[in-house]
Structure 1
Amino acid sequence: MDPKQLAPEIRRELSTLDRATADIVARHLVAAGKLIDEDPPAALRHARAARARSGRIAAVREAVGIAAYRCGDWAQALAELRAARRLGSTSALLPLIADCERGLGRPERAIELARGAHAARLSGDEADELRIVAAGARADLGQLEQALTILSMPQLDPARTGTTAARLFYAYAETLLALGRCDEALQWFLRAAAADVEGVTDAEDRVSEFG
């Protein structure tokens, strides 16, 4: 693992450590980043190893939080992501934090976070991700019409492509399906599949379920 593969801003954070420790931590972070998609538990082990040597670095706590999130360990993910924010992380962690609240069975808390002042400062994909979480929280509470309203916004443009657009269209399709609006749901699953250039959803499989 080459420490130079880390983003420059993370390397700057690690510069507060002695050189040998910074090198070890950097290698663990690089390994965690490489493994996060294919083997989240292994990524979490590397992130924890980095934390054991540098628990006061925001990027390290963020790495642990994201890996824990990918493993479905909502409590640990929430604690680590909150710690990263306290330590000065500038990443848009609010959507993940809100989704952890959902994972812990607290959809009302996720909705509250989505309405807060920090949420109002988000834009672009980050704001869309938080809307997806907030809509999911409404759906958790059985409030499907409210969920659909959250997702019905100018950003719901069929011409969009990319990961966030695909996830947005997919969530909209799922909500329509839950409301019994099957024909509309199929159209949005098709749009999600077309937008999903990186294969982050199973939209194509969902389309096939409609026969």
Structure 2
Amino acid sequence: MARRGLGAATGKRVSNASRAWRDAVEGADRSGGAAERSAAPEAGAADAPVDEERRRDDEARAEREARAGEEWVLVEEVRDEAQGAVSRGGQRTRRNRTTPTPVGDLAEEVRLELSRAVGTARSERVERRLREASEDFEHERFGDAARILKKLSDEAPTVAAVRELYGLTLYRQSKWKAAAKELEAFRLLADSVEQHPVLADCYRALGQWAMVDELWQELGAVSPGAEIVTEGRIVAAGALADQGQVVGAIDLLASGWKFPKNPKDHHLRRAYALADLYERAGEVPRARDLFGRIAGVDPDFADVERRLRALR
């Protein structure tokens, strides 16, 4: 469920051609442009007093500091709720971070965790409900999956697989704070970084940039695998772009980057995100080259053909 869930869960915001990446970049462009317009002198006001500029700078700084304070409170609230739910459930069982939980056919480890959490008499029913929720998730029936998983999360708060799947389901419903709570619980229970890209994207949607960076740094330290690290890199770069730091976002995605001879899907996602930023930064030849390389490998990858035509 972790690896397959990651691919499904990031389909609308990170993977699957990064449609939401473009939405986020466009949103950052709009907000950044508004900020720049508000900070810049109006037409005919080239001789605006220096004091007025300082006042605007002070107001902008105060707003950023206030927003940072709100973000910290929210993160603490999310983590406290996750910790509390886990603690109420009793002893936690850690899962090897490299072992994904399968969908459909529950692993023996998951069945044992469920049995310990709810008791032998109720375990068969809970297993069946978890399988049903997994099938609903796989078929993108996220409302149905969420209704099952909410009850299972209350019944078995220490089962990492339940918290993981519930978090991914809430993520697909764009319920960022609730998804972050469940994925923080999964992170605590499983001692895993497998869902860090999804968790980071939740915090990105909430505008909690420090948390995105923290999770990206943890991924870099653990290096769980190329695909997961790439997903995390895309989210981290997206957070920079959201803040108007397009050059920094390009640097993060371009660092050590070379289009491979036999690219996999995560290579194409990284290339697409980088090409998108190149276009935004006005580096049209680089954007055209990358979009062209993607189209050469997979002409049906997202809207790459349309993007390429627009640059010709």
Alignment of 1:53-202 (within 5 A): 53-90=155-192, 92-116=194-218, 119-122=220-223, 123-154=225-256, 156-193=258-295, 201-202=302-303
Q: Which amino acid aligns with 2:132?
A: A
Residue 101 to residue 149, structure 1, CA distance change in 2 (3 Å): same
Change beyond 3 A, Cα 1:32–1:190: farther
- Unpaired runs of 5+ in structure 2? 1-102
What letter matches 1:151 in structure 2?
L
TM-score, with normalisation over the residues of structure 2?
A: 0.58
d(CA) in 2 for partners of 1:13, 1:177: 49
Partner Cα separation in structure 1 for residue 297 and residue 108 of structure 2: 31
Distance 2:265 2:122 in 1: 35
Alpha-carbon deviation of 1:30?
2.4
RMSD of Structure 2 on Structure 1 (CA) = 2.7
> What is the TM-score normalised by the length of structure 1?
0.82
| More RCO (CA 8 Å, sep 6+) | 2
Q: Report deviation, 1:195.
A: 5.2
1:94 deviates by 1.5
* Cα offset, 1:47, TM superposition: 2.1
Cα offset for 1:130?
0.9
- 8 Å CA contact retained: 2:294, 2:301: no
Do the aligned residues in 1 keep the contact of 2:110 with 2:159 (CA within 8 Å)?
Answer: no
Larger Rg: 2
Matches of 2:107 and 2:297, distance apart in 1? 28
CA displacement at 1:128 relative to structure 2 = 1.1
Residue aligning to 1:11 = 111
Q: 1:55 to 1:154 in 2, by over 3 A?
A: same
Asked whether the equivalents of residues 166 and 179 of structure 2 are also in contact (C-alpha less than 8 Å), the reply is yes
8 Å CA contact 2:160–2:190 kept in 1: the answer is yes
* Cross-structure match for 1:24: 125
Identity within the alignment, %? 33
Count of aligned residue pairs for this structure pair: 207
Evaluate the alpha carbon distance shift between residue 23 and residue 155 of structure 1 in structure 2; reply closer, same or farther with a 3 A threshold: farther
- In structure 1, the gaps of 5 or more residues are none
How big is the shift at 1:176? 0.8
- State the match for 2:149 in structure 1: 47
Letter in 2 for 1:167: R
